[in-house]
């Protein structure tokens, strides 16, 4: 898709890519949202400069998205992209007033995170038979890391061997916004990582990648490959519609809160910047209690 406004967008996109260190997926989403918006105002209002944009133009764009059945949650994400862009422009003196300041996000129905039951995860990791080769052990390690640490798929595929502290049994993760966090590892998982690393070194002594995880083709796994692996194995233990790496992150957080972990601790482990983002996992547990009460109580 051509980007005629590239000179306008480039500084901001470089900022989120190189300074904020957003993932390639997030970077692409921001770029697409901004190109879509400026293409709209250029056609509808003959406007091409950030300083010319008004709140009314933004609301017209939102209305046009609604007409083509774009969901409120998606529109809100696009508005978030605009808000970030115009905030950047204001800070850097490109505009004198922020046109998104009075723009309100659309109301959306609260959607609870999907997760896998704890006993299903125990069955998958402890009782399921994986191929007895390097690839199979890599698949098992991928699932174990995602579930036992709650890291994002982008953090997993970029994970370096140097981020594992075997002596302290902990993992150092560089997350969104270049924010670093430390995640403790179970002794069993630390040993599994050590064994995997030893096998990798023996099989590929000349491997040029520093990544912890490598495919049998001596390349780091892609996000797509991780997604396919997770979907394949989760299908063995659950009929839930969603079977993605993020579901394992949700499962990690849900099981921690369900077993009494403090919400602030879960927030730090997940790398959330706000406690509000973590509080959704308490709702999952409340809904589960309601379901148990309804099924078990004689007057439920």
**Annotated catalytic residue: which of 17, 77, 242, 246?**
246
Phi, psi (rounded to 5 degrees) for 94: -85, -20
- The span from the CA of 146 to the CA of 134, in Å, is 18
Residue 176: active-site member: yes
**Annotated catalytic residue: which of 176, 219, 231, 242?**
176
**Annotated catalytic residue: which of 22, 115, 196, 281?**
281
**Annotated catalytic residue: which of 249, 250, 255, 267?**
249
For residue 210, the 8-state DSSP code is -
Strands (E), the chain: 164-165, 170-174, 180-184
- The span from the CA of 166 to the CA of 193, in Å, is 9
**Annotated catalytic residue: which of 140, 152, 243, 250?**
152
Residue 140: active-site member: no
CA 127 to chain centre: 28
Residue 246: active-site member: yes
- The span from the CA of 202 to the CA of 39, in Å, is 54
- The span from the CA of 151 to the CA of 26, in Å, is 16
Residue 272: active-site member: yes
For 160, the 3-state DSSP assignment is strand
Residues involved in catalysis: 152, 176, 246, 249, 272, 281
């Amino acid at each position: 898709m051509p980007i005629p406004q590239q000179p306008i967008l480039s500084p901001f996109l470089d900022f989120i890519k190189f300074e904020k260190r957003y993932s390639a997926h997030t970077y692409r989403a921001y770029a697409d949202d901004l190109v879509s918006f400026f293409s709209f105002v250029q056609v509808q209002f003959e406007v091409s400069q950030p300083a010319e944009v008004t709140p009314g133009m933004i609301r017209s764009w939102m209305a046009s998205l609604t007409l083509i059945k774009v969901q409120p949650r998606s529109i809100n994400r696009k508005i978030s992209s605009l808000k970030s862009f115009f905030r950047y422009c204001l800070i850097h003196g490109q505009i004198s007033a922020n046109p998104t300041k009075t723009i309100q996000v659309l109301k959306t129905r609260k959607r609870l995170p999907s997760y896998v039951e704890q006993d299903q995860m125990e069955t998958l990791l402890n009782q399921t038979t994986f191929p007895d080769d390097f690839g199979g052990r890599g698949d098992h390690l991928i699932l174990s890391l995602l579930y036992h640490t709650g890291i994002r798929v982008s953090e997993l595929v970029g994970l370096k061997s140097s981020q594992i502290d075997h002596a302290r049994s902990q993992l150092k993760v560089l997350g969104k916004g270049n924010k670093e966090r430390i995640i403790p590892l179970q002794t069993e998982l630390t040993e599994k990582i050590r064994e995997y690393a030893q096998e990798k070194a023996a099989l590929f002594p000349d491997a040029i990648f520093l990544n912890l995880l490598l495919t049998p083709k001596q390349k780091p796994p892609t996000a797509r490959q991780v997604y396919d692996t997770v979907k394949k194995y989760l299908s063995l233990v659950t009929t839930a519609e969603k079977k993605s790496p993020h579901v394992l992150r949700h499962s990690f957080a849900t099981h921690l809160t369900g077993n009494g972990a403090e919400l602030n601790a879960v927030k730090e482990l997940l790398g959330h910047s706000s406690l509000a983002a973590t509080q959704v996992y308490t709702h999952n547990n409340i809904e589960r209690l309601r379901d148990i009460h309804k099924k078990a109580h004689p007057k439920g």
